[in-house]
C-alpha cells in the first residue's frame, strides 16, 4: 500500500488521502501550495480506493473528471491562446509577471520625467533627458531583476542543502516533517507510516518530497536570471519609449503640444495596460473579471497621471524658487 500511495503522491503532485485529487498543472507556476485548489476541478476518492490501489489506473497527468457540470470560465485563456497562435511562443506566468513589472515602471517613471521636463519649454531637453533616463532605467531594472532571480536560485540551493543535511543527519526529524505535512489531508497513521517507510529508503525521494510538499518550493530554471533581467529591461524600454515619441515629432518650441499628445497617448495606453494586465492575472469568472479589469485600467491611468502631475509640480516649484534662492 505504501508503494501505491507514494506513486500516486508523486504522479499527481499532491497528497491524496480521504480528501480530493486536484489538478496540479499550475500549482508551481503560480506559486500556490500544491495542496491548494483555486479554480480547478477535483473529484472525490475514498480511503478504500487508496488502500486497494485503484488510483494506479488514473492518468499520470493528475487530471480528473469534473464533478461540477459548469466548469469555471477562464477569461484570460483567449488572450494567451491568441498570442500563442500569432507568435508561436507561449510565455510562462513568470515571464508575464516580469514583463508587467518592466512595463509598469516604464510607463510611469519616464512619463512623469518627460512631463516634468516639459515645463522647461524645450523638446530638446526632454529628448535628451528622456533618452538618458530610459537607458539608465533599462540597465538598472534589468540588472535588478537578474540579481533578484539569482538570489532566488541561491536560496533554493541553500534550502536543498539544508534539507539534505537534515535527511542524512536525522531521519527521525525528516519523518516527523513527513507526518506533519500529510496529517492535515486525511491520511491515517498507517498510511503516513507506509509513505514514510518508502521515502526513508531513498534520501533523494525524501528530499524531493520535503522540498515540494513541506516547504512548497520549486527549483528555478537555470536561465531564469538572464531571462528575468532581459524581460524586465525590455519591458521598461518599450513602456518608457511611448511617452517620449511625441517629443521627436514636433518642433523645438512646441513642447506643450508634445506634452498634450503624450498625455492623451499615455492615458489610453495606461488604461489598456491596466485592463489587460488584470485580465491576464484575474481568476474570477468573465463578468467579474471584466469589471475588475476596468477598475484596473482606471487605477493604472490614475497612477501614471498622478506621477506626471507631481513631477510637473515639482519642476514648476523649483523654477519659482530659483530666483529667490539666487538672491
pLDDT digits (tens, 9 = 90+) for 27-78: 334 444 444 444 434 333 333 343 444 433 444 444 444 444 444 445 455 5
Residue with cell 529628448: 127
Per-residue model confidence as pLDDT tens digits over 75-117: 455 555 665 566 665 667 788 788 888 888 888 888 888 888 8
Q: What is the pLDDT of residue 48?
A: 39
- Residue 71 CA to residue 165 CA, distance in Å, equals 44
State the DSSP H helix or E strand holding residue 43, giving kind and residue range, or none if neither.
Answer: strand 42-44
- Residue 103 CA to residue 105 CA, distance in Å, equals 6
190-208 mean pLDDT:
88
Task: For residue 218, give every residue at least 6 positions away whose Cβ sits within 8 Å of its Cβ, in sequence order, or none.
Answer: 28, 156, 212
With beta carbons less than 8 A apart as the criterion, state whether 17 and 185 touch: yes
Phi and psi (nearest 5°) for 129?
-65, -40
- Residue 152 CA to residue 197 CA, distance in Å, equals 32
Residues in the chain: 327
Q: What is the dihedral of CA 143, 145, 150, 156, to 10 degrees?
A: 170
* For the chain, percent of residues with pLDDT exceeding 90: 20
Question: What confidence tier does 139 reach under pLDDT thresholds 50, 70, 90?
Answer: very high
Per-residue model confidence as pLDDT tens digits over 236-252: 999 999 989 999 999 88
Residue 120 pLDDT greater than 70, yes or no:
yes
pTM of the complete model: 0.63
Nearest residue to 17 (alpha-carbon basis) of 67, 41, 51, 42: 51
- Residue 118 CA to residue 110 CA, distance in Å, equals 12
Amino acid at each position: 500500500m505504501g508503494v501505491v500511495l507514494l506513486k500516486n503522491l508523486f504522479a499527481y503532485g499532491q497528497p491524496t488521502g480521504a480528501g480530493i485529487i486536484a489538478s496540479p498543472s499550475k500549482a508551481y507556476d503560480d506559486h500556490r501550495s500544491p495542496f491548494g485548489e483555486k479554480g480547478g476541478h477535483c473529484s472525490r476518492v475514498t480511503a478504500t480506493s487508496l488502500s486497494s490501489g485503484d488510483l494506479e489506473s488514473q492518468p499520470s497527468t493528475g487530471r480528473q473528471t469534473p464533478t461540477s457540470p459548469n466548469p469555471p470560465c477562464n477569461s484570460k485563456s483567449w488572450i494567451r491562446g491568441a498570442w500563442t497562435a500569432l507568435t508561436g511562443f507561449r510565455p510562462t506566468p513568470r515571464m508575464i509577471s516580469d514583463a508587467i513589472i518592466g512595463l509598469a515602471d516604464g510607463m510611469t517613471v519616464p512619463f512623469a520625467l518627460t512631463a516634468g521636463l516639459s515645463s522647461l519649454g524645450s523638446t530638446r531637453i526632454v529628448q535628451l533627458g528622456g533618452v538618458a533616463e530610459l537607458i539608465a532605467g533599462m540597465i538598472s531594472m534589468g540588472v535588478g531583476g537578474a540579481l533578484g532571480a539569482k538570489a532566488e536560485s541561491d536560496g533554493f540551493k541553500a534550502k536543498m542543502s539544508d534539507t539534505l543535511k537534515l535527511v542524512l543527519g536525522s531521519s527521525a526529524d525528516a519523518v516527523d516533517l513527513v507526518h506533519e505535512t500529510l496529517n492535515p489531508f486525511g491520511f491515517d497513521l498507517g498510511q503516513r507510516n507506509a509513505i514514510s517507510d518508502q521515502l526513508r529508503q531513498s534520501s533523494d525521494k525524501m528530499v524531493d518530497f520535503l522540498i515540494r510538499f513541506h516547504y512548497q518550493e520549486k527549483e528555478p530554471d537555470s536561465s531564469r536570471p538572464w531571462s528575468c533581467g532581459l524581460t524586465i529591461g525590455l519591458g521598461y524600454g518599450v513602456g518608457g519609449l511611448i511617452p517620449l515619441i511625441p517629443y521627436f515629432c514636433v518642433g523645438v518650441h512646441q513642447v506643450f503640444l508634445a506634452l498634450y499628445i503624450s498625455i492623451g497617448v499615455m492615458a489610453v495606453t495606461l488604461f489598456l495596460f491596466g485592463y489587460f494586465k488584470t485580465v491576464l492575472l484575474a481568476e474570477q469568472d468573465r463578468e467579474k473579471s471584466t469589471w475588475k479589469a476596468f477598475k484596473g485600467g482606471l487605477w493604472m491611468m490614475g497612477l501614471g497621471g498622478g506621477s506626471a502631475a507631481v513631477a510637473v509640480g515639482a519642476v514648476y516649484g523649483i523654477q519659482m524658487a530659483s530666483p529667490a534662492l539666487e538672491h
